[in-house]
Structures are given as C-alpha cells and as structure tokens.
Amino acid sequence: MVIYTVTIEDDGSSYRCFESQTLLEGMESLGKKGIPVGCRGGGCGVCKVQVLTGSYTKRVMSREHISESDEAQGCVLACRVRPTSPIDLRVVGAMKKNVCRAVEPSGVPSLST
C-alpha cells in the first residue's frame, strides 16, 4: 500500500494519506484537523484547498466552488482528490458565513472567504 505525507502549510501540521484515500479521508481517519470537513462529496466546497506541490488524481467537483481557473491553479476539493506523491497544500475553504455568526459574541473570527 502506498502512503504519502500531506503537509498543511497553514499550521505546518502533516499526516499520512494512503493513495487509496482522498486527502480529506486520510486526514479524518486519523482524527487530524486542518481542512474543514463538509459533505465529502464534492458538492459543498468547504474542503477547498490549493495544492502547492505534489501530484494527485481528481474526480468531478462542483463548478460552484471550483472554477476552471481554480482548477488550473491547483485549487481542488480535498474530498475529491487522491495523492500520487507527497502533497503540500494551503487551506482555502471555510465553513461559510451564516446568520448565526452575526449574533455570536464579537471577537469570534470570521471564517468567510
């Protein structure tokens, strides 16, 4: 079984991800954090990352969240991508801004992009 190191540049953390797993599955199955987890189906966009170095295979992703130019710049949904080499990535996605955040105590950082 082939396994690669995935490094999340935002906090310098890393985890090991099997070639057979998506980047999101690899992170979640080890109880790691760093990439926001949503639908795990390429539909909601919260797990959006930019791959800085490394190669991968990808499946169809929602165009609402990954434009063609995003894709050209290595922006992908972590739940739709499997590594074929060690990966360095940056987190782009976030849990979207919603009405509730607006009424939470001030000081809660806005996670909207």
Partner 1 sequence: MAMTGVLRPGHAQLRVLDMDESVKFYTDVMGLVETGRDASGRVYFKTRAERDHNSIVLRRADRAGLDFFAYKVLNKATLEELDGKLKAYGVVTERIPAGEMLETGERVRFQIPTGHTIELYAEKTDVGNGMTYNDPEVDVVDGKGIRPIRMDHALLYGGDIDGSRKLFEEVLGFNLVERVKLEDGATDLAVWLTCSAKAHDLAMVRHSEDNKLHHVAFQLASWEQVLRAADIMSINRVSIDIGPTRHGITQGTTIYFFDPSGNRLETFCGGYDHYPDNHPITWSWEHVGRGIFYHDRKLNPAFLSVLT
Which positions lie near ligand FES, rule CB under 6 A? 37-40, 42-47, 77, 79
Long-range contacts of 31-40 (CB under 8 A, 24+ apart): 34/8, 34/10, 34/91, 35/8, 35/78, 35/89, 35/91, 35/93, 36/91, 36/93, 36/94, 36/95, 38/79, 38/95, 39/79, 40/79
Q: Is there a contact between 56 and 83 (Cβ–Cβ < 8 Å)?
A: yes
Closest approach, Cβ 35 to ligand FES, in A, equals 9
Q: Does 1 bind partner 1 (CB under 8 A)?
A: no
Choice between 78 and 105, CB closer to ligand FES:
78
Number of residues near partner 1 (by CB under 8 A): 23
Torsion of CA 33, 36, 39, 42, to 10 degrees: -110
Choice between 39 and 103, CB closer to ligand FES:
39
Q: Does 98 bind partner 1 (CB under 8 A)?
A: yes
Six token digits for residue 18: 């099997």
Contact with partner 1 (CB under 8 A): which of 69, 100, 107, 109?
100
Binding mask 42-81 for partner 1 (x = CB under 8 A): xxx-x------------xxxxxxx----------------
Site of interaction with partner 1 (CB under 8 A): 37-44, 46, 59-65, 95-100, 103
